[in-house]
Structure 1
Amino acid sequence: MHHIFRRATAVRIVAAATALPLALTLALAGTTHADPGAPPERQLADSVKAPNIKRHLQELQNIANANGGTRASGTPGFDKSSDYVAGQLRGAGYQVTVQKFDFPFFREKSTAAMSQVSPDAKTYKPTTPGSSEVGDFATLTYSGSGNVQATVQAVDLTLPPTPEPSSTSGCEAQDFAGFTAGNIALLQRGTCPFADKARNAQNAGAVGVIIFNEGQPGRTDAFAGTLGGPGFNIPVVGASFAVGQDLASPANTVVKLKTDTESTTRTTNNIVAETKRGNADKVVMAGAHLDSVLAGPGINDNGSGTAGLLEVALQFAKVPPKNKVRFAWWGAEELGLLGSEHYVASLSEADRSKIALYGNYDMIASPNYAYMIYDGSAGPAGSVEIEKNLARYFDFLKIPHVPTALDGRSDYGPFMAVGIPSGGLFTGAEGIKTPEEQQMFGGEAGKAYDACYHSACDTINNINDKALTVNTGAIAYSTATFAFSDNPPSRTPVAKTAPQQRGKADSHRGGLAL
């Protein structure tokens, strides 16, 4: 998931019941049967069965096991995952569209290395792909390959750091006016995209780039951000503030830097299926990204959303909604929302206007979960209705929930950008659970919601079954509510602007800028 968890300022707390309602208790046991007298949205939610969702997850795990431990876009594991989802949908009677697109693929072929040769001999620890442990530095996505030893040259650093992020180090070509070609550029995080810094350094003749964190609280660790795409032929790494200080202080510091990467163009796809019936001028969309990171099988991120949405779609095949329901599974989300970006960009203005809303389901079963609903107040008009509808489901079950920022960091971002009401669910990634959330949801305060986030240990054992089933019921409830509504939210056209880079901009996994 390309998402940074940012807790909303005002946390809404709903008291938890001492016991779960019967419908949910049965759902968790996988034996619920829909009440024929209930509204359609309740019937769809009650039709969700835990064993069926887990069956989909186990199949995704089996696919990863048979394909190098990953389901990342551009790999056989993703292709087999796509075949599985598409096959299930076709078997349920859907006409499935497999939308192919090219994307910039990246992987580290071997672990990077960085050491100080002089004035002191010192080895820095890399952040190993697939590990949740943060080292002293990490290779930036789309870094070039290289094995260089050269003098480090600082470029326009702000040391000591200011109270607020403000460094413009390397953002302008003129920053390199006095740069010596053949040196390694030492830059500071902040203000502009990493790609701008690295490109300016490469154009100035740098043989390597070290971008260190800026130094404010929360901006000290090494980070593995992205350069946005291929085009770099020198090593580029993100280092901790401590490493940056270490390399900046003495004159004539010599560093050895090695990266071993592959940066190419590959083909992947989205999967789109919609109900045969329903008003085609009022399309209710729900989506989840299908790909994992290269480092692991991605069973929580985002096998959980994939499996939950698939089971909802299979149940929807049995009912005739008033409005068309369109389900989507996105490719290449982990490299910057590329699948959903491609899909939205491929739509005509007329087709965009027919999408009433979009619900996004990314990481819905984190082991140390919190039930989070995207805060619609930050989205296009109509987004608050999605939030309130999901909240009603949790309130009905007397399950607490909190808001989380609707900030464009997952596949709802491209929909928001064109004015489509957006919302969805999330149970947390690398963020830390608070004591208040522990009281509300159980689990462990002071620990990550998902300690295996973007790691090899994100397996079938990294799933909370209760959260998976509750959230899948919520997906069914919300989707059905709007599918049977006479007046679902509708898109508000927005002025055309220049394309914006999106991705996980700030977390320990890094991002595009700042």
Structure 2
Amino acid sequence: MIPNALLKRAHFGRASLAFAGGLALVASGGLAATAGPTHENSNNNTSEKLRAAVSVDRVVGHLEALDAIADANDGTRASGTPGYDDSVAYVVGKLQAAGYSPVVQEFMFPYFQQLSPSVLTQISPESQVYAAESFATMTYSGAGEAVGAITAVDTTGTAGANTSGCEATDFDGFAAGSIALIQRGSCSFAQKASNAEAAGATAVVIFNTGSEGSTGPINGTLGAPGIEIPVLGASFDVGVSLIGENVTGTVTVDTVSENRATYNVLAETATGDADNVVMVGAHLDSVVAGAGINDNGTGSAAILAVAESMQKVKTANKVRFAWWGAEEQGLLGAEHYVADLAETGELDRVGLYLNFDMIGSANFGRFVYDGDNSAFPVGPGAAEGPAGSGQIEQDFHDYFAAEGLASGETAFSGRSDYGPFIAEGIPAGGLFTGAEGIKTEEQAVLFGGVAGAPYDACYHAECDDLSNVSVESLDQMSDAIAHLTLTYAMNTTAVNGVGDNVKGNFKQKGGFEGNPLGGGTESGGGLHPEHDHDSELADR
């Protein structure tokens, strides 16, 4: 458990915990238990020196520690689990060893885990066990086993959306103790399930509309914990087969659905303009299914190595590093933090935000967030980049061009922690090496790797462990992160018009222009597409 400590307000945000120690670190081949500082004992105030200090061996060392933490905690580092708490402890310990005073910010979030496969059967008038691919457990479903009559609620199974289960009166005459069979349409899954639970249903099966493109199983969410009975989303054919007189069956669901505490970790440089904060972030949590070493141990490890190596740099702008919790549940850590800053009047002090989510994909591409929307115009798959975001994009392309490396673009798709920042008009950018998208022939020529295969075949899967990381990609991306973080630590004028001096010995590389050659990718990393924030809540 994270220990209670002094509550702070200040520029880290309201209701934060100043980490006071006392949290046991997980040993992993000596890495997590090392007491001494891990950064170079020098002022890494040039790009060359900082990139040398942020060696790929240092970054891999952090990944080895996170992988060992997952191994010691049932193979996961998901928010709300001991594996995540131990990941927080590791990051905090390394920051303290490097001379920072990290802050741990606690917040509550809706935790959900399916412990074993669900079961749906018809007992009578026919005996049938429905195939696993014909239905899915609703996220935040309650747990339990229901056996009994299956009663259709205000539906005859005709194709098309309807109001089935949306009104309490739909359940007039419903026999308590029955399983409610409801058709999709008109109101949220949560409203349908809540009405059924209030009517005494022991379980709920919500089946698809049967309209074109809506015949398969529903992979939906109830939005938050609160429904205590099992809720499944079924295909249209399954739903229709359960309509009739004297139909009985079973629904069995084994889940955990509850509100839990989790944490963001923040640390900032001792020097720099506190009214022009450069934020550098990565989510620290994994999905429940795996260790999350590429997604997103890689981003977390890289910015940790940069933070360690920058501790002695006298920055012109304050640099604040952030490790976000509960990103995989819908960007919740970053959303909590941005809302907190807005409430306390501190958000205007954030000059820009850099996001690093998946930077070591095994079949990688070198993708930069499309801040000027030139490759991915504003629309359903791409949000608008706030003013200044295009300059961040160009600066990354320029860096790669100087290194003789092709770079492509990825959309501001809303799938990672930049989302809450750009929603508030804060310039943002970052890097991404690919998730479930498929590498094209053009990209294979430019970046290497295998065309026709996913960038990360283990995305959100159990196999996302240390063996799932490209060290080549990790090396190139961590150098780019170091270079741009130091660039903006010294001067953000081109991005947001603030400041006009470069302090210390920092020298920006110059005399080149980026030439983004690689084909782009729409996905933008982070969440599964079906988990885009609020995407399944409306059920319209």
TM-score with structure 1 setting the length: 0.78
SS of corresponding position for 1:312:
helix
The residue type equivalent to 2:61 in the other structure is R
The residue type equivalent to 1:460 in the other structure is L
C-alpha contact 1:224 1:511 (8 A) present in aligned 2? no
Aligned match of 2:349? 354
- Once the two structures are superposed, the pairs formed by residues 210-289 of structure 1 within 5 Å of their partners are 210-212=205-207, 222=217, 224-239=219-234, 243-248=235-240, 251-252=243-244, 254-289=248-283
SS of corresponding position for 2:105:
strand
Q: Structure 2 CA distance, aligned partners of 1:434 and 1:217?
A: 30
What whole-Å deviation, never above 9, does each CA across 1:18-70 have from its counterpart, x for those lacking one? xxxxxxxxxxxxxxxx9x9x993454345431111110000001111112211
Aligned match of 1:184? 180
Say yes or no: does 1:512 pair with 2:536.
Answer: yes
SS of corresponding position for 2:345:
helix
Q: Structure 2 CA distance, aligned partners of 1:452 and 1:510?
A: 25
Q: Structure 2 CA distance, aligned partners of 1:138 and 1:510?
A: 18
The residue type equivalent to 1:368 in the other structure is N
Aligned match of 1:426? 432
Greater Cα offset, 408-417 or 439-448 = 439-448
Aligned match of 1:293? 287
Q: Structure 2 CA distance, aligned partners of 1:139 and 1:250?
A: 17
- Once the two structures are superposed, the pairs formed by residues 105-144 of structure 1 within 5 Å of their partners are 105-118=111-124, 120-126=126-132, 135-144=133-142
C-alpha contact 1:152 1:255 (8 A) present in aligned 2? no
The residue type equivalent to 1:359 in the other structure is L
Q: Structure 2 CA distance, aligned partners of 1:216 and 1:402?
A: 38
Say yes or no: does 1:83 pair with 2:77.
Answer: no
Q: Structure 2 CA distance, aligned partners of 1:86 and 1:39?
A: 24
C-alpha contact 1:157 1:169 (8 A) present in aligned 2? no
What whole-Å deviation, never above 9, does each CA across 1:168-206 have from its counterpart, x for those lacking one? 665843794678453433433x77654344334444554
Q: Give the C-alpha shift of residue 285 in structure 1.
A: 0.3
Q: Give the C-alpha shift of residue 284 in structure 1.
A: 0.4
The residue type equivalent to 2:279 in the other structure is M
What whole-Å deviation, never above 9, does each CA across 1:105-145 have from its counterpart, x for those lacking one? 2222333212233454333344xxxxxxxx43332221101
What whole-Å deviation, never above 9, does each CA across 1:465-485 have from its counterpart, x for those lacking one? 111121212222222222111
Q: Give the C-alpha shift of residue 490 in structure 1.
A: 4.2
Q: Give the C-alpha shift of residue 216 in structure 1.
A: 8.2
Q: Give the C-alpha shift of residue 295 in structure 1.
A: 1.8
Specify every segment of 5 or more residues in structure 1 that has no aligned partner in the other structure, as ranges.
1-33, 127-134, 162-166, 493-501
Aligned match of 2:35? none
Pairing partner for 1:409 from 409, 415, 435: 415
Gap change, CA 1:441 and 1:343, over 3 Å in 2: same
Gap change, CA 1:317 and 1:208, over 3 Å in 2: same
C-alpha contact 2:179 2:205 (8 A) present in aligned 1? no
Greater relative contact order: 1 or 2 (C-alpha under 8 angstroms, separation 6 or more)? 1
C-alpha contact 1:300 1:463 (8 A) present in aligned 2? yes
Gap change, CA 1:491 and 1:71, over 3 Å in 2: farther
Say yes or no: does 1:329 pair with 2:303.
Answer: no
Q: Structure 2 CA distance, aligned partners of 1:383 and 1:288?
A: 18
Aligned match of 1:481? 487
Gap change, CA 1:390 and 1:185, over 3 Å in 2: farther
Whichever of the two has the greater Rg, that structure is 2
Specify every segment of 5 or more residues in structure 2 that has no aligned partner in the other structure, as ranges.
1-39, 374-383, 499-525
Aligned match of 2:395? 389
Gap change, CA 1:175 and 1:300, over 3 Å in 2: farther
The residue type equivalent to 2:87 in the other structure is S
C-alpha contact 2:183 2:209 (8 A) present in aligned 1? no
The residue type equivalent to 2:99 in the other structure is G
Gap change, CA 1:416 and 1:234, over 3 Å in 2: same
RMSD: 3.4
- Once the two structures are superposed, the pairs formed by residues 35-184 of structure 1 within 5 Å of their partners are 40-41=46-47, 43-118=49-124, 120-126=126-132, 135-149=133-147, 150-151=149-150, 153=152, 167=161, 172-173=166-167, 176=170, 180=174, 182-184=178-180
Q: Give the C-alpha shift of residue 448 in structure 1.
A: 2.8
Q: Give the C-alpha shift of residue 289 in structure 1.
A: 0.9
Q: Give the C-alpha shift of residue 342 in structure 1.
A: 1.6
SS of corresponding position for 1:358:
strand
Greater Cα offset, 253-262 or 77-86 = 253-262
- Once the two structures are superposed, the pairs formed by residues 486-497 of structure 1 within 5 Å of their partners are 486-487=492-493, 489-490=495-496
Gap change, CA 1:468 and 1:168, over 3 Å in 2: farther
What whole-Å deviation, never above 9, does each CA across 1:322-370 have from its counterpart, x for those lacking one? 1111000011222222211221122145310010111111111122222
Gap change, CA 1:485 and 1:142, over 3 Å in 2: same
Q: Structure 2 CA distance, aligned partners of 1:81 and 1:99?
A: 14
The residue type equivalent to 2:134 in the other structure is D
C-alpha contact 1:336 1:504 (8 A) present in aligned 2? no
Number of residue pairs the alignment of both structures matches: 453
Pairing partner for 2:337 from 338, 343, 355: 343
C-alpha contact 1:186 1:244 (8 A) present in aligned 2? no
The residue type equivalent to 1:185 in the other structure is L
Aligned match of 1:372? 367
Gap change, CA 1:170 and 1:86, over 3 Å in 2: farther
Gap change, CA 1:455 and 1:431, over 3 Å in 2: same
Aligned match of 2:13? none
Q: Structure 2 CA distance, aligned partners of 1:121 and 1:154?
A: 22
Gap change, CA 1:210 and 1:333, over 3 Å in 2: same
Q: Give the C-alpha shift of residue 388 in structure 1.
A: 1.8
Identity %: 45
Gap change, CA 1:486 and 1:193, over 3 Å in 2: same
The residue type equivalent to 2:350 in the other structure is I
Gap change, CA 1:312 and 1:187, over 3 Å in 2: farther
Gap change, CA 1:298 and 1:214, over 3 Å in 2: farther
